[in-house]
Amino acid sequence: MARNVLIVTESFPPTNDIAARRFGFLAPHLERHGWGAWVLTTQGEGPLPVRLPAERLFRIGRGSNTLPRRAPAEPADRRNTVRRLRQFAWSTLRRTIDLTGSRVFSLYPANFAWRRCVENRRDEIRSWLPPIDLVIGSFMPAAAAMIAANLAHDLRVPWLADIRDLASEIPGRRNPLARGLDRLIERRLFRTAAGFLTVSPTLAELLSNVHRRAAAVIYNGWDADGEREGHAEGSAAAKGAHQSPGLYYAGILYPHRMAAAFAVLEAMAARPGVRWTLRSLGPAVLEDRLKREARRLNVDDRLEILSACDPTIVARESAAALANLVLEELDRRHLATRGTLTGKFLKLLPLGRPVLAVARSDSDIGPILERTATGRLCSTPAQIVDFLDAAAAAPAEFRGRRAAVAEFSMEVQAARLAGLLDRYAGGDLAARSAA
């Protein structure tokens, strides 16, 4: 007899982000392992396929990724003037908080609005659900963990906290008080969780050490079916793919990853034949920083920054690259960055093209690349140069070991998740400790 798991997640397809992909691609595989997935989420917009039946989804409110960034123009009257003044004061306060490193990441107002929406319709949600054996709450946002804990209490079943990032471990210059408040909030949020799911061995180690409960790794793996469906509508657009064999990166630039990007440019200076195509989602200020550094190193003629495009074009360009780039934090001062696996990383493994990961030398990315034989972890320009030479001379060496690459598929990760759910729902405390 099949069991049922309720997944509480702010992001779910069609929204296209790593949080949506995690359970949007994991959940459909659970059925074949004896678990029916039911999802409490928000309204979403985007290109990803929805691969669960509509009756398994309860959508309420809007996720923070779909909220409008600017308020629509309104007639000028006194109430609207007051509202605009309040919005200006709030945005000014937020900028000040960010500049002083005082943001408490667990406290994001839009997500608490979602929690209120759910609380107001709790009875309706309860009547929609079948008998539930276990609840999963996807953190961040904090609201998802709160909702999961409350529903698990009502349903008298265990719940698991699924952690992609810990708010208290977000790197950068932060006010110690803000970081401490995030830690206190996390302890409060997770106090009733039976255990943890997370995305890398380092984060599992952190969670186990801090919260004294078992943490199991379920990777954000690659999913051939989901990617194929998501790209089907854009197949015609793929004819416009940019053809320039070289290094390839598609995505957002982040301040903490710029050192890795600069290391790539420095390696390019030592290898005049190497080009870099960047499909950038911004921000423009970091694109400008990259261009300035490229000019300083006299490689600006080999750095091509292109606008965002259809996902099918990205897939085609990735498959034709000399190597696909993964950029991560080089600074080793924050333990959590050792366990950061950027969302696109595991999707690159089955492409058959070399993966160049530029990250701290002890990153969790390294063992995966070694096990799958799909690329190399580099932390210095000299190491990048060595990799470029190897990839150009013998790209077949990085095509990967098929069985090892398969271990990081969503199908295999879903089977592992189902096994963990069996043990937690069965109430076997010894099994939980060994998870």
Per-residue pLDDT, 180: 84
- Per-residue pLDDT of 314-359, as tens digits, reads 888 998 899 999 999 999 988 889 999 988 899 999 999 999 999 9
Do residues 80 and 112 both lie within one domain? yes
Alpha-carbon gap, residue 174 to 152, rounded angstroms? 34
Residue 261's Cβ-side half-sphere holds a number of Cα atoms within 13 Å equal to 25
Range of the domain at 154: 3-221+409-433
Do residues 217 and 273 both lie within one domain? no
Residue 59 forms part of a structural domain? yes
Query: What letter represents residue 82's amino acid?
Result: V
Alpha-carbon gap, residue 346 to 422, rounded angstroms? 26
| pTM (predicted TM-score) | 0.86
Residue 227 forms part of a structural domain? no
Chain-centroid distance of CA 71 in Å reads 28
Query: What letter represents residue 229's amino acid?
Result: E
Q: What is the mean pLDDT of residues 29-48?
A: 94
Do residues 71 and 99 both lie within one domain? yes
Residue 229 forms part of a structural domain? no
Do residues 41 and 155 both lie within one domain? yes
**Is pLDDT of 22 > 60?**
yes
Do residues 55 and 155 both lie within one domain? yes
Q: Is 38 helix (H, G, I), strand (E, B) or coil?
A: strand
Total count of domains within the chain: 2
Do residues 329 and 372 both lie within one domain? yes
Which residues, in sequence order, are bridge partners of residue 195? 160
Confidence class for position 290, pLDDT limits 50, 70, 90? very high
Q: What is the CATH number of the domain that holds 306?
A: 3.40.50.2000
- Per-residue pLDDT of 364-384, as tens digits, reads 999 999 999 999 999 999 999
Average pLDDT, the chain: 87
Do residues 198 and 258 both lie within one domain? no
Residue 70 forms part of a structural domain? yes
Do residues 314 and 191 both lie within one domain? no
Do residues 270 and 200 both lie within one domain? no
Chain-centroid distance of CA 143 in Å reads 17
Alpha-carbon gap, residue 346 to 91, rounded angstroms? 36
Which residues, in sequence order, are bridge partners of residue 145? none
Residue 226 forms part of a structural domain? no
**Is pLDDT of 158 > 60?**
yes
- Bridge-based pairing of strands 375-378 and 355-358 is parallel
Do residues 374 and 390 both lie within one domain? yes
H or E stretch covering 355: strand 355-358
Alpha-carbon gap, residue 103 to 96, rounded angstroms? 9
Question: Out of 18-27, 172-181, 238-247, 314-323, which region has the weakest mean confidence (pLDDT)?
Answer: 238-247
Confidence class for position 95, pLDDT limits 50, 70, 90? low
Per-residue pLDDT, 244: 59
Do residues 85 and 185 both lie within one domain? yes
Residue 232 forms part of a structural domain? no
Residue 233 forms part of a structural domain? no
Alpha-carbon gap, residue 316 to 180, rounded angstroms? 45
Residue 228 forms part of a structural domain? no
Do residues 131 and 260 both lie within one domain? no
- Per-residue pLDDT of 104-140, as tens digits, reads 667 766 667 888 999 999 999 999 999 999 999 999 8
